Amino acid sequence: MIPFKTEKIVMNQYCYSHLCLILLLLVVMSSALGQSCLGYWHGSEESSVPDQQISRDGLSPAELGTKVADYVLAQPMDHKYTDSCAHYAILKFAEATRNNYLRDRVIAAYATYHSGERTPATGHVDNNLFGIVPLEIYRMTNDSTCLLQGKSLADEEWDNPRPDGLTRYTRWWLDDMYMVGCLQARAYQATRDPKYAERGTEFLLAYAAKLQQPNGLMHHGPQQPYYWVRGNGWAAAGMTEMLLVLPEDHEHRPRLLAAYQTLMKGLVKCQEKDGMWPQLLDYPHVRPESSGTGMYVFSIATGVQKDWIPEEPYRETAERGWNALTGYVDAQGRVREVSHGTFSKDLKPYLCNERYPVGDYHGQAAVLWAAAAMYNLRNPEP
C-alpha cells in the first residue's frame, strides 16, 4: 500500500503545480487584456500623457477652448472633414465667447480658398462638409464670396439625388448625419431657402428611422449593430445643428425633436461615474473616448439651454461630462483618448485599440463644440 500512497502524493503534487501554472497564466492573460482594452492607464506613447501635463484649469470653457483652438490654428487649414469640423468649431466658440481674434484667424486661414488658389474636393459627404466653414464666415461677415462657395458644396450634394429624394452619397453610416445635416443646416441659415431645411431634415429622419433602436441609441450602420460612441456623437451633433436653425413651425421639427430626445435619454444611461462615455456605449468600463463625450456635452448642454430637454437630469449630465473632459486636454491644448475611425465589423478594434492619437481633430472639434455650448449654458444672455 505504501507505493500506492506515494504515487498518490506525487500525483497530487503534480496536479497542484500544474494548477498553479494555469492560474499564473490566467493572471498574466487577464493583465494583458486589461492593458489592451483599458489602455488609457498603460497607454502607448501616443496616448500616454503625464498627469502634470493634463490641464486641470479647464473648468472654464473660455480658457480651455482657447487653448484647444490655438493648437488647431498653429497648423495650416486643409479641407479634410476633420479640419472642417475643427475650424467651424473655432468659429462657433469664438462667437460664443466674443473672441474676434480667433474668428479673424480662421478667416485668415481660409484666405487661399477664398481667393480660389485652393479648391476643396467634392464627391463625398466628408468632402462637401467643408462648406460649413465659408457659410459660417458668411454669416459672421456677410462676405458674398463665402456664401457662393458654401452654397455650391451644399447644392452639389443634391445633384442627381436617389429615387427616394436623398443625396446620392447616402451610405447609411452614422457619420453622415453630421456631414449632411450640418452642411444643409448652415446653408438654410445663410439663405433661408426652405429646400436646405427640407433636404437636411428628411435625410436625418431617414437615418434615424433606419438606425435608431428602442433603447434610443443608434447602430453605427445596418451591418454594424453596435453603439460606437463617436457614431452616436455624429448623430447627436447633426440633429442639434439642424434643430438650432429649423423654424418652430416646420412640419418635420416634432419628429426630429423626438428622435433627438430619444437619443438623449439613451445617452444619459450610458455615462460613466467619472462623467465620460465609453468607447462602446453598451460596454461599460472600457476605455473612455473624448470626441464622443465632447459631442454629447455639446448636444445635451445646447438642449438644456434651448429647453428641448428638461434641466434635470440633463444639466448635471452635461456638467459632469465637461468636468471630466477637461482632464483629457494636455498643456499644449491637445485632446487625448480620441478614437481612430472605425471600419471593421469586429468589436475588437473598438475595445482594444491602444494607439490613440493625441491632438486628433475629431477631439479638438468636439471639445470646442462642448466649450461653446457650456459657455452659453453657464452665461445665458439677459
Give the three-state DSSP class for 218: strand
- Evaluate the omega torsion of the peptide bond into residue 380 and state whether it is cis, within 30 degrees of 0: no
At residue 291, the pLDDT reads 97
At residue 345, the pLDDT reads 65
At residue 341, the pLDDT reads 79
Domains, the chain, in order of start with CATH, read: 47-76+270-382 (1.50.10.10)
124 phi and psi, to 5 degrees? -160, 150
Contact partners, residue 169, CB within 8 Å, separation at least 6: 123, 124, 125, 128, 157, 176, 180
At residue 30, the pLDDT reads 37
Contact partners, residue 187, CB within 8 Å, separation at least 6: 131, 135, 150, 151, 154, 155, 193, 196
Torsion of CA 198, 318, 43, 287, to 10 degrees: -80
Output the pTM of the full model.
Answer: 0.86
- Type of residue found at 208: A
Is 325:293 a contact under the CB 8 Å cutoff? Answer: yes
CA-CA distances (angstroms) from residue 191 to 72, 150, 154? 29, 11, 11
Per-residue pLDDT of the chain (382 residues; tens, 9 = 90+): 333 333 333 334 444 444 444 444 443 333 333 333 433 322 233 443 333 334 444 469 999 999 999 999 999 999 999 999 999 999 999 999 999 999 999 999 999 999 999 999 999 999 999 999 999 999 999 999 999 999 999 999 999 999 999 999 999 999 999 999 999 999 999 999 999 999 999 999 999 999 999 999 999 999 889 999 999 999 999 999 999 999 999 999 999 999 999 999 999 999 999 999 999 999 888 889 999 999 999 999 999 999 999 999 999 999 999 999 999 999 999 999 998 877 666 666 666 666 688 999 999 999 999 999 999 999 998 7
**Pick from 242, 211, 247, 245: nearest CA to 228:** 211
> Which residues pair with residue 278 across a beta bridge?
288
The residue behind cell 476605455 is 287
**Pick from 180, 287, 168, 156: nearest CA to 235:** 180
Is 196:147 a contact under the CB 8 Å cutoff? Answer: no
Instruction: Give the C-alpha separation, 327 to 316, whole Å.
Output: 18
At residue 340, the pLDDT reads 82
